[in-house]
Structure 1
């Protein structure tokens, strides 16, 4: 009998998707699985599709395999690149302890720690192009269009937001009080600027949770570039004759009102024009809240309370999770569509009101509010 039609194609697909590796690996960790069930199990274990997993492997292959370290399982078998990437992804996505991951993979906790760190360094080295500010006019134009489609904000280029990465620190740590925030938790701040597809375009982390949003922003490279006119310096939008508005991002009341950063109006019993503006502003900001909720839901190592983390390494772990978040979006990976995700990312924290307001920015916001209410003629 001749070969069944399509068998060569199937073998080619299996080779490309790492089927043989997963077939062997899955038997070791969860017992024998049928091929159809294996696909679902793969995605549940690693939170990414096979296509995305293979792309990540190709991305980090050179820096990870260039290391002289020979990582092994408890049975003495050497870990392949796929094994190492699988271990690191499981560690970052499950939130399980080093011991739990070690038991799951059949290795020791020190190997889990070393492999994960080597992966974090490699994904930062080779994957940073997935996390960058738009570099072309067509790209920024598309972003503006998508934001305007949300609730009508024109010429908007991003949403800025922050979240806290919780930590449990030793009382013997002489720097312990530095990390104590206003909710009496030890935490590290993550500030992100998000596009309408929930992709992170700028990330700042490493600062203690006690710092307010305005201070973190003012210590960022993005702030320096924007203040110098080197960012958010694209085409201005004409609102009416003699009235135009520059490119900007939006943020909540914890941020200063600046020519390039528009915040909501404060106070109660606001005029209808300002109330309507705030509604549109809030609806637009939700994209950043959803992005951070998804980040923490999927990469659960930074979701809960990290037990005595290395505070020098933690910012790079956070950055790696942000890069992985973007890779999933860039790969058009639909695995997360089937996962149950929450809408909370910073429970118990509310923005502190920043009173800093640039006069020119205040006038621009008023003009934008009138334009959105239809009271500013075209």
Structure 2
């Protein structure tokens, strides 16, 4: 799945609860949300932490699709399964990764009903919520992103941080294509590449590639890279600091990526031995791009269906599930700004525990020149 081209759709932010049916509508004794949130979280003592306003907004997005497809769903007591219960079931599945059987027992549904509800939710979200995951469309929005990145550790004109994570799969050894999915850690996995803004929102994703494919190859084959090569992305205002030094728009990534005119990676270890300035550059570079690592860690912590070792997943459907988890990740941020600082403190560990850093030594001359300009700028800023 390549980066998404999105057309904005009319957003629905209000729900009319008189139109909703289902077991979660309690009268009098307990607020329906208090009861429902317990079912969504299950036995978890940690995120997903979905506030009521966010849940209602998600319901408003999928309401029309679910209303036209779900008339035959019913609980074990014969009552019809309403909108809020269907959304709760899907969020429980995506948020906990619990089996269809476990979730069905919690809600009073058959495991096949849980499966159907979850997939119909995924289908609706990938169409109705795409406006929550897109590259900045206005100069004002991009300027805000660049300003926030510069406030982290001083990198000017930075538009994003890129990283990848592996979604591990439990595939039968007898499956004909199982070796294709073996990564360098000898796990079966699917890769998610994400470009992230300073608020930990995903701005561009690529998923569906086998885990054995190198990060640099995934990026080079991406639509984002092709747009950059055509001059149609990262083509905004160039900052000019002197006759010899100018800094164009760019993103930053780790050493698994090539050094390009619009993708800045750290200096190699051998270049640091005699240069304190380059060592400091790498430190600031790491602290800036950590926003991408935190975003991917938060994604996997909140939407645990993609955190563990997925049991024999449908590899054609999995990229769509990953996309919807990314959309939900962004929606939570868009709806709940107050959650960000709390989660930044909570999610500090690596999203790909046990995976060693890959190294790509490809370097473009224009990329080298841009990195030197950034080095000079940051060094001057530190000593001014």
TM-score (norm 1): 0.88
- Counterpart-to-counterpart distance in 2, 1:33 and 1:20: 20
What is the CA-CA distance between 1:350 and the residue it aligns to? 2.3
Matches within 5 A, 1:1-16: none
What is the CA-CA distance between 1:22 and the residue it aligns to? 11
Stretch deviating more after TM superposition (69-78 or 294-303): 69-78
Partner of 2:139: 137
What is the CA-CA distance between 1:170 and the residue it aligns to? 1.3
Q: Choose which of 357, 366, 371 in structure 2 pairs with 1:365.
A: 371
- Counterpart-to-counterpart distance in 1, 2:91 and 2:33: 22
What is the CA-CA distance between 1:273 and the residue it aligns to? 1.4
- Tell me, yes or no, if the aligned pair for 1:48 and 1:328 is still in contact at 8 Å: yes
Q: Provide the secondary structure at the position in 2 that maps to 1:345.
A: coil
Q: Choose which of 318, 343, 354 in structure 2 pairs with 1:348.
A: 354
What is the CA-CA distance between 1:66 and the residue it aligns to? 2.0
- Change in Cα spacing, 1:33 to 1:21, as seen in structure 2 (3 Å) is farther
Partner of 1:218: 220
Unaligned runs of 5+ in 2: 1-13, 43-47
- Tell me, yes or no, if the aligned pair for 1:64 and 1:118 is still in contact at 8 Å: yes
Stretch deviating more after TM superposition (88-97 or 333-342): 333-342
Partner of 1:260: 262
- Change in Cα spacing, 1:270 to 1:230, as seen in structure 2 (3 Å) is farther
- Counterpart-to-counterpart distance in 1, 2:274 and 2:105: 58
Matches within 5 A, 1:18-167: 25=24, 41=38, 44=41, 47-67=49-69, 70-167=72-169
- Counterpart-to-counterpart distance in 2, 1:247 and 1:127: 28
Partner of 1:290: 294
- Tell me, yes or no, if the aligned pair for 1:17 and 1:50 is still in contact at 8 Å: no
What is the CA-CA distance between 1:102 and the residue it aligns to? 1.0
Partner of 2:278: 274
- Counterpart-to-counterpart distance in 1, 2:37 and 2:88: 15
Q: Choose which of 319, 324, 339 in structure 2 pairs with 1:320.
A: 324
Q: Provide the secondary structure at the position in 1 that maps to 2:269.
A: coil
Partner of 2:4: none
What is the CA-CA distance between 1:342 and the residue it aligns to? 5.0
TM-score (norm 2): 0.87
What is the CA-CA distance between 1:313 and the residue it aligns to? 0.1
- Change in Cα spacing, 1:270 to 1:228, as seen in structure 2 (3 Å) is farther
What is the CA-CA distance between 1:363 and the residue it aligns to? 1.6
> What is the aligned length?
360
Q: Provide the secondary structure at the position in 2 that maps to 1:191.
A: strand
Q: Provide the secondary structure at the position in 1 that maps to 2:160.
A: strand
- Counterpart-to-counterpart distance in 1, 2:130 and 2:151: 28
Q: Provide the secondary structure at the position in 2 that maps to 1:177.
A: helix
Partner of 2:380: 374
Matches within 5 A, 1:189-200: 189-200=191-202
- Tell me, yes or no, if the aligned pair for 2:160 and 2:196 is still in contact at 8 Å: yes
- Change in Cα spacing, 1:65 to 1:210, as seen in structure 2 (3 Å) is same
- Change in Cα spacing, 1:375 to 1:58, as seen in structure 2 (3 Å) is closer
What is the CA-CA distance between 1:243 and the residue it aligns to? 1.9
- Counterpart-to-counterpart distance in 1, 2:136 and 2:167: 27
- Counterpart-to-counterpart distance in 2, 1:256 and 1:233: 19
What is the CA-CA distance between 1:280 and the residue it aligns to? 0.8
- Tell me, yes or no, if the aligned pair for 1:59 and 1:126 is still in contact at 8 Å: yes
- Change in Cα spacing, 1:364 to 1:200, as seen in structure 2 (3 Å) is same
- Counterpart-to-counterpart distance in 2, 1:149 and 1:377: 17
- CA deviation vs aligned residue, 1:224-274 (integer Å, no higher than 9, x gap): 101111000000111223421110000000001000000000014250111
What is the CA-CA distance between 1:25 and the residue it aligns to? 2.6
